[in-house]
Every structure is written in C-alpha cells, then in structure tokens.
C-alpha cells in the first residue's frame, strides 16, 4: 500500500513538473519571439450601436472578440467628441491598451499626436490620410475599405430598377433621376456618389443625379428633410452618405404617384423601409482590425500582416480582399435578374474588369473651377491612399444644392 501511494505521489510530482516545464518552455519561447499571450484593444467611436457607421465598427469588435477569445480584452468608448479624443486616448493607454482603433477622420490629429507620445502603443485611424505625412511614425497607421466598389454595384441595381420602371410605364426616361443625401463636399462623399451614379448609368445611360448637402454626418431630421426635398424634385431613387435612417424613412413614407426606392450605406435598411429599401453596401472593418491585432500579438509589422493594398503606413482593401460587402437584396422589389447582375458584378470587380471612374465625362472640383478632370483617361481611386481622392463633380449630369 505504501509503495502504491509512493508511486502515485511520484507520478503526481512528475506530472506537475512536466506541466511546469511545458508552460516555462512556452513562456520562454513567447519572450524570445516577442509574442504576447494577451493584448488589450481600445476602440473609440464617434457614435454608438444606434448609428450605422459606428455599428459597423462595433460589429468588427464583436468578431474580434469571437475569433481571438481570451487573447484579447476589449475596451470600447462610445460617442466621443472629436475635441475630447486626447483625453479618451490617454484613458485607454492608462488602462493598458496595446493597440487603439479610432473610427473617424475627426480623430486623426489626436491619434497621431498620441502615437508620438506613446511609442509602445499601436494606433490605427480609420478613413484618415495622414499616416504617410511627416512625422512618419512606425506605430501610427491609417486604413479604409475601397467602398466606391460597393457604391458602383449598388448603383447597377438601382439602374436596373429604373429600367424596369421605364419599361413598365411608371416613369419616362427623362424622369430617371436619382437623388443623393450628402454630408459634406469632401472627396470621400463625392467619390461615393459619383461611383453610385456611374453604376446607375452602366444600366440606365439616361440617368442623372441631384445631390443635396446637409453639412453634418448625422442628423435624422435633416437627412429625412433633404431626402423629401429630393423626392419632391422628382428623384425616384435616393441614396446617401450620412449616418442615420432618415433618408430611408422618407422613401418609405413618400406620397407620390410612383414608388421611391432607397439604396443605403453601412446597414441594411429593410427593417425600416421594407417596401423601398433595395440594396446596401458597407465596409467590413474586421478584415483589417483582426489582422492588426494579430500582428501585435505576434510582434509583426501591421502592414506585413494585413491583406490589402499597402502604401507606407496606409492600407486599403476592396471586394477581392473581403473589405467591401454587398448586403442582402430586397427580393420583393428587386428587378428581374438583379441577383445575378450583382453577383457577376462582384466577381468582375474583384477581377479588375470594371473601371468605375472612366467614361466620356468632365469633372470639375467644387472649390476650384479651373481644376478639372477628363474621365476619358481613367481615374484610379485609392491608388495611393486608402482615403478616397476623387473630388470632381461631373458636368451636366450632376446637380448640387445645399
């Protein structure tokens, strides 16, 4: 009996020693390789889950938590004013964050200053364009999805819907007018609505566009009002680059002799506008975020770890890389063949067969009439920057009001 107990004790001791050696070995390997067993990840959002734009980042944080599990501890800060970003970033660093993601252009200056201040923390700023400006910092990065690709394909679906309305005698070709509720006259917005119109005209060549700026990224009342004004002016399809469901609600409630359809950005609007929401697109931020966090865990350079178009400390990606997604098509109102059209377009976009900013058009910069671009020579969007740079309003087919 004593011998059996002695053998059991010896076996237990051996097992404990083996387990200890196992963990000691992996700890030494971790230290030698520079990898981390666990990282803290901070997120700063300009909105919250109720705003479609920030909701996409919150969704990405959720996917990060699901895929990396106990390797990550996530701290999220919602509704952070741009002028308060410095303070919130300091809080995240004090809480031990190894990497911090900020989700809006308005945080760019604060995030880069923080990167200079905290050289041992990685900072990743979405939609900004200052990573490659001096001072270039190894721990400051910018990133954005090539959303013009999704805009164009959504435009194709809208153009097909216009053709159906024309063929059914609902509208005439002269009434093929699309409206766009826009936040500000900046390249990100102009690039988006131009890509959308190019997609529309690829199916319905007679289509024109009316753009109405509201000078804010998110205001339900202003978005709804602007959409209603565009509807009153004869627009039969409305899209937007703003951050609430206001324009979708306006389309759903439109009191016209014909239905008014909606094409959304950042989220599927079918829950809010089941009779008018046609199609949507969004950026899947998780493709970059998960890769960047894994890079920190594995002690790798972020730009070496991400799947995208890398330019210095700036990275973009489109459909081919999984960064841009087309959301569900509303089959109840989609024109015949729409799903096949959209599927083929996604394949063609990924293969580089679609040339969005090309055609017999002249673009004029809104703030400088002498700055023009002839699109007979293709404009390559996101060629040198993840942030869009196309900032020309197309003559004769786009009308802009405030």
- What string of DSSP letters covers 120-183? TSEEEEES---TTSSSP-TTEEEEEE-THHHHHHHHHHHHHHHHHHHHTTSS-GGG-EEEEEES
pTM of the model: 0.90
231: left (phi over 0), alpha (psi -120 to 50) or beta: alpha
Lowest-confidence segment of 19-28, 68-77, 191-200 by average pLDDT? 19-28
Q: Which helix (H) or strand (E) holds 27?
A: helix 2-33
Considering only residues 4 and 113, tell me which one the structure prediction assigns the higher pLDDT. 113
Q: Same structural domain for residues 166 and 208?
A: yes
Lowest-confidence segment of 2-6, 88-92, 161-165, 368-372 by average pLDDT? 2-6
Within a domain: 121: yes
What is the band of 402 on the pLDDT scale with cuts at 50, 70, 90? confident
Phi, psi of 357 (to 5 degrees): -95, 65
Omega into 208 within 30° of 0, i.e. cis? no
Residue 53 belongs to domain with CATH number:
3.40.50.2300
Q: Same structural domain for residues 70 and 107?
A: yes
Per-residue confidence (pLDDT) for residue 6, from 0 to 100? 53
Q: Give 87: exposed, middle or buried? Use CB within 10 Å, 0-12, 13-18, 19+.
A: exposed
Within a domain: 367: yes
Q: Same structural domain for residues 331 and 356?
A: yes
Q: Same structural domain for residues 303 and 328?
A: no
Within a domain: 2: no
Distance CA 249, CA 269 (A): 9
Number of domains into which the chain is organized: 2
What is the band of 7 on the pLDDT scale with cuts at 50, 70, 90? low
**Mean pLDDT in residue range 329-351:** 98
* CB contact at 8 A, 144 and 283: yes
Within a domain: 30: no
Token reading at 310: 């890398």
Question: Whole-angstrom distance between the N-terminal and C-terminal Cα of the chain?
Answer: 93
* CB contact at 8 A, 196 and 142: no
Within a domain: 33: no
Within a domain: 15: no
Q: Same structural domain for residues 345 and 372?
A: yes
Q: Same structural domain for residues 139 and 102?
A: yes
Token reading at 84: 């308060």
pLDDT higher than 90, residue 355: yes
pLDDT higher than 70, residue 238: yes
Q: Same structural domain for residues 68 and 175?
A: no
Which range of residues forms the domain containing residue 238? 148-283+323-401
- 310, β-bridge pairs: 315
Q: Same structural domain for residues 225 and 88?
A: no
Within a domain: 160: yes
Q: Same structural domain for residues 99 and 201?
A: no
147: Cα separation from own chain's centroid: 6
pLDDT in tens, 190-232: 999 999 999 999 999 999 999 999 999 989 999 999 999 999 9
Q: Same structural domain for residues 88 and 101?
A: yes
376: Cα separation from own chain's centroid: 28
Distance CA 266, CA 389 (A): 20
3-state secondary structure of 107: helix
Q: Same structural domain for residues 291 and 381?
A: no
Within a domain: 354: yes
Q: Same structural domain for residues 43 and 125?
A: yes
pLDDT in tens, 378-401: 999 999 999 999 999 999 999 998
**Mean pLDDT in residue range 337-347:** 98
């Amino acid at each position: 009996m004593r011998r059996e107990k002695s053998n059991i004790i010896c076996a237990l001791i051996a097992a404990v020693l083996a387990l200890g050696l196992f963990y000691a070995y992996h700890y030494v390997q971790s230290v030698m390789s520079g990898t981390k067993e666990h990282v803290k990840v901070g997120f700063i959002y300009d909105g919250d889950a109720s705003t479609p734009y920030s909701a996409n980042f919150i969704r990405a944080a959720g996917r990060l938590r699901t895929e990396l599990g106990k390797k990550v501890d996530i701290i999220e800060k919602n509704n952070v004013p741009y002028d308060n970003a410095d303070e919130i970033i300091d809080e995240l660093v004090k809480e031990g964050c190894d990497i911090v993601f900020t989700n809006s252009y308005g945080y760019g200056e604060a995030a880069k200053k923080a990167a200079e201040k905290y050289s041992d923390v990685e900072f990743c700023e979405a939609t900004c364009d200052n990573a490659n400006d001096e001072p270039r910092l190894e721990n400051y990065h910018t990133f954005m999805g090539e959303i013009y690709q999704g805009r164009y394909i959504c435009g194709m679906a809208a153009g097909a819907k216009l053709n159906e309305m024309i063929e059914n005698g609902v509208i005439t070709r002269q009434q093929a007018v699309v409206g766009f509720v826009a936040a500000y006259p900046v390249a990100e917005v102009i690039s988006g609505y131009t890509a959308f119109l190019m997609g529309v005209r690829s199916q319905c060549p007679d289509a024109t566009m009316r753009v109405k700026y509201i000078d804010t990224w998110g205001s339900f009342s202003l978005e709804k009002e602007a959409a209603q004004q565009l509807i009153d002016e004869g627009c039969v399809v409305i899209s937007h680059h703003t951050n609430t469901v206001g324009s979708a609600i306006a389309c759903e409630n439109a009191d016209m002799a014909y239905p008014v359809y909606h094409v959304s950005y950042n989220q599927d609007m079918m829950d809010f506008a089941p009779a008018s929401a046609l199609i949507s697109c969004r950026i899947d931020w998780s493709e970059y975020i998960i890769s960047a966090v894994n890079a920190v865990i594995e002690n790798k350079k972020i730009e070496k770890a991400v799947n995208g178009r890398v330019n210095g400390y700036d990275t973009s990606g489109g459909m081919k890389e999984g960064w841009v997604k087309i959301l569900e098509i509303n089959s109840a109102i989609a024109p015949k063949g729409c799903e096949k059209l959209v599927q083929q377009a996604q394949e063609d976009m990924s293969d580089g067969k679609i040339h969005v900013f090309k055609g017999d058009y002249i673009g004029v910069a809104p703030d400088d009439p002498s700055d023009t671009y002839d699109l007979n020579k293709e404009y390559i969007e996101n060629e040198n920057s993840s942030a869009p740079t196309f900032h020309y309003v197309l003559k004769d087919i786009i009308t802009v009001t405030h």
